[in-house]
Amino acid sequence: MESAAVKSEGLVIPLIDFSNFLNGSPEQRKTTAQAILKGFQEAGFIYLKGLPFSPDYRQHVFKSSAQLFKLSEEDKMKCCWTTPEANRGYSAPGREKVSLIEEEGDVTKLRSAAPDLKESWEIGREGEEGHPNHWPKEEGELAGFKSTMLEFFDKCKLLHTEVMRAIAVGLDIDEKWFDGFTDVGDNTLRLLHYPSVDRNVFQVNPGQVRAGAHSDYGSITLLFQDTRGGLQVQGPTGSFVDATPIENTCVVNAGDLLARWSNDTIKSTIHRVVEPPAAEGDTYPARYSIAYFCNPNYDRMIEAIPGTYTRPEELKYKAISSGDYLVQRLTATY
């Protein structure tokens, strides 16, 4: 029996031991896959434990990320984010405004009123023609940064494949049905830094958040949190519920493209990052997280997954290429 990582306001997010899918018996693999699919269908979010990431390895990756954001503003801006098509490089505080709005002008107004209090660094598939990654100069504490992040990218790519295989098993379709959609690795590793902030920032502007309410765009997101907290998920009542960090777990949520792909049988749930639950004096300490945004290969057409509908008239969406869909969504965000 899986336990609940979150249970409040009608929202139940399961905590699932993924080692039972990776290394378990056929019965364990099936039961785990069904629990994963149910979590995505009912909450849009799950927590996974039993992952092939040791605590020391996670700590090493987080330390490398923290060192990156200690670079001077001038050095970070040399690697600045450029276009939605590339989606690589450094994004300064206030550059991105995640929201539920899809019109570019309306996002600009919201960004001016309450910019997200975060900075990020996007790393895409290495070697993609025309879209090179932007790597910082590796000196001192940043020595080995590129190799660390490329290794972590590849480990997350493998985890993406396995989670999609679990979804396939849960749906009673061929376990490797999604493999041809995940093999290229058109994914994005995002390093996130929410700088320390005075408590009064949130009191002066009640609409201020560290990251606004939004749903993710792709298939699934793998989120690795530090211990600070602040992530909230919207429950069925409309209230936001704390998704408290649990040591050595990964929070996984379904994105808009997977909801579309599943003919809306899987949920893409709204979430945000808000004022943390605890301050130190008059200051909220910095928060770090690492998100790995998983997408189908950009050149693949996305049509309803087998088993998510029975009659053609039940289809809710027209086919669209993965790459076109994601560029549309990113264009409104930046």
* Residue ranges, the chain, pLDDT below 50: 97, 99, 107-114
What fold is seen in the domain 4-333? Jelly Rolls (2.60.120)
Task: Give CA–CA dist 77/92, Å, rounded.
Answer: 8
DSSP state of 294: E
Residue reference for tokens 């009191």:
203
pLDDT one-digit tens code per residue, 81-128? 989 899 999 999 876 545 455 555 554 444 444 467 899 999 999 999
Q: Select from 279, 271, 321 the least CA-distant residue to 98.
A: 271
* pTM to 2 decimal places: 0.91
Q: State the pairing for strand pair 188-194/119-123.
A: antiparallel
Cβ atoms of 196 and 231 within 8 Å: the answer is: no
Question: What is the pairing mode between strands 211-214 and 320-321?
Answer: unpaired
- Of 108, 91, 97, nearest in space to 208 by CA: 97
In whole angstroms, what is the distance from residue 310 CA to residue 263 CA?
Answer: 11
**113: which residues sit within 8 A by CB, 6+ positions away?**
207
User: For residues 61 and 86, is the Cβ–Cβ distance under 8 A?
Assistant: no
The pLDDT score that the predictor gives to residue 108 is 46
The confidence score (pLDDT) of residue 42 equals 98
Every domain of the chain and the residues it spans: 4-333
